Amino acid sequence: MFVAKKHISKLIIVILTIISVNSIAKAQADKIEGLWYNDIKSAKVLITRDANGKFYGKVVWLKEPLKNGKPKVDELNTDEKLRTRPRLGLPVLADFVKDGDDKYVDGTIYDPNNGKTYSCKMTYKGKTLDIRGYIGISLFGRTTTWSRAE
């Protein structure tokens, strides 16, 4: 009987340790990490923080993943060598640095609809994320609003 109680106590300690480590890991995730719909809900982008502390995003879902019965590719890329890469899994956000509580700066956004890369900054607003792509200074740009994908 004493041996069983000892094992149960150890089991409870292991379970509590696992729960607390899992809670700490979740608490360390940044608020922009996760799935986001683009402004027209034609794609979902997964935003993650890399080991270097910067944030990146890649396309993980497309509303229309096929074109002429084949997976869509990055056909408009200015670099001809990249035109055959699939749109699914395509990196579209790169190198964002957190600046304060809700701002992410110094990144780039790639637009597969025209094959161009723009300077970009993001502002977290709860269930939405304002994405501002621009050339030169942010005054000359366009903002779209992405929404959290549940």
Q: How confident is the model over 24-60, as pLDDT tens digits?
A: 444 479 999 999 999 999 999 999 999 999 999 999 9
Encode pLDDT of 88-110 as tens digits: 999 999 999 999 999 999 999 99
Over 70: is that where the pLDDT of 17 sits?
A: no
23-37, 80-94, 119-133 — which is least confidently predicted?
23-37
What is the phi/psi pair of residue 45, to 5°?
-115, 130
The predicted structure's pLDDT at residue 25: 45
**Tokens standing for 31?**
């608020």
6-11-13-14 Cα dihedral, nearest 10 degrees? 140
- Please determine, for residue 1, whether its predicted confidence score (pLDDT) is greater than 60: no
Residues 6 or more apart whose CB falls under 8 angstroms from that of 121 comprise 96, 103, 104, 105, 106, 107, 132, 134, 138
> By C-alpha distance, which of 85, 116, 93 is closest to 36?
93
Query: Which residues, listed in sequence order, are joined to residue 70 by a DSSP beta bridge?
Result: 67
